[in-house]
Amino acid sequence: MTISSPSPAPVARLFGDDFAARAEDAYDALRAAGPVAWAEIAEGVHALVVTSRRAAADLLKDTATYSKDSRMWAALHQGKVPADSPVLALMAFRPSLLYTDGDRHARLRHAMDDCLDRINLHELQEITRGHALRLISGFAHTGHADLMSQYADTLPLLVFTDLLGCPPQLTGRMVAGCQGMINAGPEAGKGAAELAQCLSEIIQMKSARPGRDCTSWMLSHPAALTHEEILHQLVVLVGAGTIPTAAWIASGLRLLLTDDDYAGDLIGGAVTVRRAMEQVLWTRSPMANFSAHYARHATTLHGVPIPAGVPILISHAATGTDPELPRLGHDHRSHLAWSAGPHRCPADSQAAVIAQTGIETLLDQLWNLDLTDAEVPNRPGPFHTCPAALGIRFRPQPVDPPATGGPRDLHYADPRHHRHPPL
């Protein structure tokens, strides 16, 4: 059985202004076509997209049938994917844990897990709070702000520059490069190249002068990764750990400020924030459509023909709102926002600390906080669910100079506290 191209019939488009404004319409169209259906993810680029929670879980755990190696992408090899397609920044092969299988993936994943486990999560909270206070102090006196461009977009990236031991002169370049890459717009390729260049410079610096940071720990890891492998490991760490976390912060704040179940209960503090964060993972998964796989041979998934060499994306957004799911409640953590199987996100604990601290710090600092427009569309790319803007108004106030937010070097974590307690 071979299928080299999607049906000529119109398919859902997971990019552009219509998708940004009405993503659920696209997911409804995909569901109507089956648990797995064709979609256009960029101009002239097609993929199969899994919207069924059960089908997605089966695929993610079946490593014998499905591979993460995007060198298997037939249309790319055949020249049918435009060379400047914005999706290539995140889908083209890199020698990192995101695109590998088996023993090679296990080696890279072991190095990543060990480095992440050395981060002291209590200190990570303090670093995040310090950056959050500095960002808030830049607009607290004005009475209005766009929380996307002035806060949520920037906060996780600033934190990750500390985690990597990034010198201040590279921070702005890293922020711009990472945002350009994951937004899957015209500047995606340029953004990916700029991010890679910044990380290469950091690796060279840390090779000569190691510190207590993830880059240095990866350089000294017993897995003996090459500099090229470390570079692409860090690209994944930054790309997957920052922009989705920014979306999580923004969507969590929007939910807390607009949903009647939360808006009157912000005095509930951390419990209320954690509950809203979990609801976001179900209903507005920050990574909307990702986890690309390729069938090693022609097969079927829940009755749908799957050709070899075609990208199959998991719609983390659609699986969380799958109407076939039993109503488990948002406190039930069986969503796929972190993916599943051997490629499950390794940095969920760190992302949770950054997101929760970012949300709580903002709510603690600003008074009489309201959104100016709760109905803004998402950003138009296929990969993540993120508001295009998040305008707020609040009572202007003087802000004291923020605390330093902790040292730029990370302390070794107590081995009893390697993992953040579940939300």
Q: What is the pLDDT of residues 22-48, one digit of tens each?
A: 999 999 999 999 999 999 999 999 999
What pLDDT score was predicted for residue 3?
Answer: 43
What pLDDT score was predicted for residue 196?
Answer: 87
- Tens-digit pLDDT profile for residues 87-106: 998 899 999 999 999 999 99
Residue 380 predicted with pLDDT over 90: no
What pLDDT score was predicted for residue 190?
Answer: 82
Q: What integer is the mean pLDDT of 418-423?
A: 32
What pLDDT score was predicted for residue 243?
Answer: 85
Q: What integer is the mean pLDDT of 100-123?
A: 96
What pLDDT score was predicted for residue 133?
Answer: 97
What pLDDT score was predicted for residue 414?
Answer: 37
Residue 7 predicted with pLDDT over 60: no
What pLDDT score was predicted for residue 254?
Answer: 93
Residue 1 predicted with pLDDT over 60: no
Q: What integer is the mean pLDDT of 6-12?
A: 66
Phi, psi of 247 (to 5 degrees): -65, -35
Q: What integer is the mean pLDDT of 364-384?
A: 90
Q: What integer is the mean pLDDT of 408-421?
A: 38
What pLDDT score was predicted for residue 333?
Answer: 67
Percent of the chain at pLDDT > 70 equals 86
Structure tokens at 322: 């799958």
What domains can you pick out in the chain, each with its CATH number? 12-417 (1.10.630.10)
Name the least confident of 49-53, 170-174, 254-258: 170-174
Mean pLDDT over the full length of the chain: 88
d(CA 268, CA 275): 10
What pLDDT score was predicted for residue 263?
Answer: 61
Q: What integer is the mean pLDDT of 4-27?
A: 82
Q: What integer is the mean pLDDT of 325-333?
A: 69
Kindly indicate the confidence band of residue 280, based on its pLDDT and cuts at 50, 70 and 90: very high
What pLDDT score was predicted for residue 407?
Answer: 43
Q: What integer is the mean pLDDT of 367-371?
A: 91
Q: What integer is the mean pLDDT of 283-307?
A: 97
Q: Indicate the pTM of the whole model.
A: 0.89
Structure tokens at 312: 């199959």
More confident call, 24 vs 400: 24
What pLDDT score was predicted for residue 89?
Answer: 84
More confident call, 416 vs 321: 321
More confident call, 307 vs 186: 307
What pLDDT score was predicted for residue 417?
Answer: 36
What pLDDT score was predicted for residue 420?
Answer: 34
What pLDDT score was predicted for residue 423?
Answer: 31
More confident call, 423 vs 51: 51
Q: What integer is the mean pLDDT of 111-119?
A: 97
Residue 408 predicted with pLDDT over 50: no
Residue 85 predicted with pLDDT over 70: yes
Kindly indicate the confidence band of residue 120, based on its pLDDT and cuts at 50, 70 and 90: very high
Residue 295 predicted with pLDDT over 90: yes
